[in-house]
Structure 1
């Protein structure tokens, strides 16, 4: 039977995972307490949070939040860096710090709820910001609407009334879009950019 302390830890981890846009899982063996404290402080300055927890509890939290892709990374002593905003900025700071501290052994990460391999973490710092993602989505939604306006032969006032209201709704929805959705969209944009670069 789980203890009250373990239940509280799982609840806390679940809350963090539900809010995260990006996470990095790493092995911290070999790091001194001072090094670990310095790492936490440096990433905290960037808005990230590093926790050390038992893998069994992390697995439960991962399942609770649909972050099952994290489970294969949860082996041995585990630290998780949770990033709630400014993903590219934090990823850049983390990658720079990890390059100078070889005791940090990165196993991989999650972008939204999708797995990011260790070798792809450098690409995360090149991702567009949340505002850019929303702008790209809006661009994709607004352009078809403008085509409809030109194609339909109807009174302009009626068209404005029909098209304008949904557009306002879309802006409101996208402005309040959840961290999960933003993370998934950022991952998709990164994939498309990589495909274009290869092509």
Structure 2
């Protein structure tokens, strides 16, 4: 990798750190190419990104961003999972790590708050932004549905009574 490629990578990482809501630092303890490809696919499915970068270049990219404190976590074979949804990257990394002991969650950050590995796991247990939106829509729609059912109930009862009288007369 020549100097121009390194500069482009640092600029790209820096832009990612400025746009993202969460960064999860993972340690690769012998993942195969197939494992990493599978992990990247799972990250893409939740609109997250998984990037392996040289620690020195990642530390340079962290400078001047709110994620600068996580530079101490970049030791050994690490990779960075990022997403705009504060829960998505943590959840995808945690779910993959549960099924594969070769991926270790080192820690991360959400904004300027540094997270330990346990805190990232707790973050992964929270519902995602889409799940929260679905719950809110369900709560908003539920009263309207109940009102519609209550309003339709007397008419339905009346129709059943007329139907019973009609059936009785036919018999």
- TM-score with structure 2 length normalisation? 0.69
RMSD over aligned CA atoms reads 2.0
* Residue of structure 2 in register with 1:189 after alignment: none
* Residue of structure 2 in register with 1:65 after alignment: 65
Quote the offset at 1:114 in angstroms: 1.5
Comparing 113-122 with 12-21, greater Cα deviation is found at: 113-122
* Residue of structure 2 in register with 1:13 after alignment: 13
Describe the shift of the 1:95–1:41 C-alpha distance in structure 2 as closer, same or farther (beyond 3 A): same
Quote the offset at 1:119 in angstroms: 1.1
* Residue of structure 2 in register with 1:26 after alignment: 26
Task: After TM superposition, list the pairs within 5 Å mapping 1:13-92 onto structure 2.
Answer: 13-85=13-85, 87-92=86-91
* Residue of structure 2 in register with 1:142 after alignment: none
Q: 2:81 touches 2:93 (CA, 8 Å); kept in 1?
A: no
Return the alpha-carbon distance in structure 2 between the equivalents of residues 128 and 82 of structure 1.
14
Task: After TM superposition, list the pairs within 5 Å mapping 1:117-156 onto structure 2.
Answer: 117-125=116-124, 126=126, 129=129
Describe the shift of the 1:27–1:61 C-alpha distance in structure 2 as closer, same or farther (beyond 3 A): same
| Matched position secondary structure for 1:64 | coil
* Residue of structure 1 in register with 2:101 after alignment: 102
Larger radius of gyration: 2
Q: 2:49 touches 2:89 (CA, 8 Å); kept in 1?
A: no
Quote the offset at 1:36 in angstroms: 0.6
| Matched position secondary structure for 1:9 | helix
Mark the runs of 5 or more structure 1 residues left unpaired by the alignment. Answer: 133-199
| Matched position secondary structure for 2:87 | helix
Return the alpha-carbon distance in structure 1 between the equivalents of residues 38 and 117 of structure 2.
22
Q: Tell me the alpha carbon deviations over residues 83-106 of structure 1, each in whole angstroms, 9 at most, x when there is no partner.
A: 112x22443333222111110011
- TM-score with structure 1 length normalisation? 0.60
Return the alpha-carbon distance in structure 1 between the equivalents of residues 81 and 117 of structure 2.
14
Mark the runs of 5 or more structure 2 residues left unpaired by the alignment. Answer: 133-171
Quote the offset at 1:27 in angstroms: 1.0
